[in-house]
Structure 1
Amino acid sequence: MRIETNFVIVASLVYFLFGFAVMAIFSALPAIAIDLEMSHSMTGLVIALPKVFFQIAALVVVILSKKGNPFKIMLLGLFCVPFSIILITLSKEYFQFLLGKTLFFFGFGVTEMSIVFGVSVMAFRRTGGVLNVVHAFFALGCIISPGVVSIFLTDASSWNIPLCIPLAISLIIIPFALKIACKQERTDNDMESERIAFPKELLFWLIIIGCFIYVGYESGLSSWLSTFVYEAKAFPLRGSSLLPSLLWIGLFLGRLATGIVVDRFGLEKTLVSLTLASLIGVSMIIFSNSTPLLITGVFMTGLGYSGIFPTLQALLVSSYRQNRAAILCAFTVAGSMGALATNLLVGSISETVSLFAGMSFILTLIVLSLILFTLLGISHAKTLRNSAKKSHGKQVFTNGVF
């Protein structure tokens, strides 16, 4: 089997592991809050603080990528995973749980960025297709996880049992990742420049800001959905832990559909259309008093969220080949900063005003992203026109007109 195929398989399993583990924790969050006696502010810190170490992980990858190989750097992140899950599952008090989740997100950050960097280094013909495949497995893990959690969540103290599954998967993946790291070598052409530089084009910064806002409201809703429907909509505990699975079913199906139509429909139109669907879906979740409408809103939100992150990431990777580590670091940091800021704000607003007000803040971010993606489409079209003019000018010069 080719090394590229092995890499995609391992990367897909890694994303499945992370999706399962992250959603298992978020789905069981109401039970964890009861078991560890966490307030809304403490819950917000548990959700937000690990994002800081996700950013630190991105910086670590940038530093190591100067002389290292992304497939070996990926191992650093993978080795953190089993230790962090053991810390989390054995938690009997708040600070041990916080430490375990922080270490888990550090490993998550190192591994995820190394995978995207590895895709870029291997120069796949369909970068967007490969990224959509691995992200689809993240969504698949998120789909399965809440169902497993709901089976074991017979009382508040049994929230940690489902985490044994990602622990076992991590121990299986590591030997295969070691094999890839030993076989795959970087060439001199793959080495990053010593000077860290970012593109000056407006398109790049719109993508970065778009990532900040999108990951913020996506993480915010995913993190607080179970708590919101349990406390504000009076859903039963097991039902609230199962509901995020529907969100990720929408994400999974939408991601598969987006991967098929995105190139034909256009990146900009896809982003705007998906954001509109997200706006409608989240509005239904927050304002609906009907259970069927709320469930429909969760599914529609998943469809809307589905292709936004892979589309932004593929656009970035395919548009910029120089200083890839620094550019991907900026993208990763922007996303984790957005998640950090949003979860802290949702937790703070929920504590001081109401949980309803905290969730309404997420709706405001979606409106902002709709405006931003419209500007992104205009900027991208302008960039393409300028590139076409330059290409035409060079062709005319070559033909001897001048």
Structure 2
Amino acid sequence: MKKAETYFGFSTFYLFGFSLILVSTLIPIIEKSYHIDHSLIGLAFSVGSIAFFFSSIIFGYILEKYNMYYTIIFTLLLFIIGNFFLFSMTGYIHLLLGIFLTNFAGGGLELSIPFLIGLSQEEKKSKTLNLLHSAFALGAVSSPIVSSLILRYTNQWKLPFLITIILNIVPFILFSLSKHDISKKHTEYLANPHKKESKFIITKTLIILTLSLGIYVAYEMNFTSWLATFLYEYRGFKVSDAAMYPSFLWIGLFLGRTLLSHMPEKYGYKNWLVIAVLMSLIFSTFTVFLGKTLLLSLIGTLLTGIGYATTYPTIQALLIEKFKNNKGFALSFASASTSVISAIGSSSVGYIGKLFGIFFGLLFLIGLNFIEFLLIFRIEKQ
């Protein structure tokens, strides 16, 4: 990838990570401000997953048929509008609209950038995706820190959404510098005679990869979303302290994706997935059961992030590698299916948390992690 394209990918993933985690870190404040409970927050996250689902279907088709440049411009505009709804939020409806639009835009970006990587390079796709996802992790690290500082020193808790809107200028500028090169690569891909002869078929491999990806997203994003609430309600930490802990998780994700980005190519995608998913299972279990102090929770959360780090981009790299002539459709199918699984996971955690307490909600996520560990053994080696 050229420098402008690479910087665009990094800045976009950074902002998506920053925005996506903001609501999670502010759950206690949002619930108190608008008199809503865990089940409604879980429903809101499910709405985001539904938006991601429809976005994945729509943009996957568009990338296989129409101009990539205007597709990405549209998603960036939707992203700004969604954050504006969150910044101007006065009630639950605004929260739903903001989450829906930011996730819908995120679905388009989540497909477009890996798609672009598939067009731009032949080797080390997993390493590139890991590094790009490290930018997402860096944004997710920054988000809770900003939220915590604002909660500690001001009463303007919606200010981070305005920061996101302003920072979105950066990917707009960088993307405009890459317009010609991106359009050229996409046109060549659409005109490829091998692509025209190849039909997209749902195979056993695609189903296993999709289930693995969906279960991962369900437990990772919900662990992130509910961690601050778990530490506040179950562990009794202060709100300002609890709000910091998603940052430690994403510091682990950032470090893992940066330092371990070469491991999938070194050991093979499947072999490395077995190691990574096992690490995440062990470390998340430690955090939930033994993280009884600030320090132990910090260590467990950081290690859980490292365990989570490389799973998603490695599975994405497998999809791009195995479906060379139908990248858009394969990514679309996987992302859409992932959204359904994630929506079920979000609603389940919220509902379980309301009935039995948030501790049991996190136990449910550990169970999903274990199911994925069993599932990845069915993935065929590349």
**TM tier relative to shorter chain:** over 0.9
C-alpha separation in 1, matches of 2:122 and 2:268: 20
Does 2:181 correspond to 1:187?
Answer: no
RMSD, aligned CA: 2.0
Q: How many residues align?
A: 376
Greater mean deviation of Cα atoms: 338-347 or 182-191: 182-191
Does 2:370 correspond to 1:367?
Answer: yes
**Which structure's relative contact order is higher, taking Cα pairs within 8 Å and 6+ residues apart?**
2
Other structure's SS at 1:158 match: coil
Given that 2:256 and 2:307 are in contact with CA atoms closer than 8 Å, whether structure 1 keeps it comes out as: yes
Does 2:275 correspond to 1:273?
Answer: yes
In the TM superposition, what is the alpha-carbon distance from 1:134 to its structure 2 partner? 1.1
- Inter-CA distance 41–322: structure 2 relative to 1 (3 Å threshold): same
Does 2:55 correspond to 1:57?
Answer: yes
Whose radius of gyration is greater, 1 or 2? 1
Given that 2:127 and 2:265 are in contact with CA atoms closer than 8 Å, whether structure 1 keeps it comes out as: no
Query: Which of 239, 244, 255 is 1:253 aligned to?
Result: 255
Query: Which of 178, 197, 200 is 1:197 aligned to?
Result: 200
Q: Which residue does 1:390 correspond to in 2?
A: none
Other structure's SS at 1:234 match: coil
Deviations 1:247-304 (A, max 9, x none): 0111111112221222222322221111121112211222125213222211111011
Q: Which residue does 2:337 correspond to in 1?
A: 334
Given that 2:256 and 2:309 are in contact with CA atoms closer than 8 Å, whether structure 1 keeps it comes out as: yes
| Percent of matched pairs sharing the same residue | 26
C-alpha separation in 1, matches of 2:120 and 2:129: 13
Query: Which of 15, 19, 22 is 2:20 aligned to?
Result: 22
Given that 1:34 and 1:156 are in contact with CA atoms closer than 8 Å, whether structure 2 keeps it comes out as: no
Q: Which residue does 2:359 correspond to in 1?
A: 356
Q: Which amino acid aligns with 2:374?
A: I
Greater mean deviation of Cα atoms: 335-344 or 124-133: 124-133
C-alpha separation in 2, matches of 1:281 and 1:184: 40
Deviations 1:45-68 (A, max 9, x none): 111111111111111113322431
Q: Which residue does 1:315 correspond to in 2?
A: 318
In the TM superposition, what is the alpha-carbon distance from 1:44 to its structure 2 partner? 0.3
Other structure's SS at 1:184 match: helix
Unaligned runs of 5+ residues in structure 2 are none
Q: Which amino acid aligns with 2:150?
A: F
Given that 1:284 and 1:297 are in contact with CA atoms closer than 8 Å, whether structure 2 keeps it comes out as: yes
In the TM superposition, what is the alpha-carbon distance from 1:208 to its structure 2 partner? 1.0
Q: Which residue does 1:99 correspond to in 2?
A: 97
In the TM superposition, what is the alpha-carbon distance from 1:69 to its structure 2 partner? 2.5
In the TM superposition, what is the alpha-carbon distance from 1:162 to its structure 2 partner? 1.5
Q: Which residue does 1:305 correspond to in 2?
A: 308
C-alpha separation in 2, matches of 1:208 and 1:184: 27
Q: Which residue does 1:230 correspond to in 2?
A: 232
Runs of 4+ in structure 1 deviating by more than 6 angstroms, as ranges, are none
C-alpha separation in 2, matches of 1:48 and 1:189: 34
Greater mean deviation of Cα atoms: 133-142 or 280-289: 280-289
Q: Which amino acid aligns with 2:81?
A: F
In the TM superposition, what is the alpha-carbon distance from 1:124 to its structure 2 partner? 4.5
C-alpha separation in 2, matches of 1:89 and 1:282: 32
Does 2:245 correspond to 1:243?
Answer: yes
Task: State the TM-score, normalizing by the size of structure 2.
Answer: 0.93
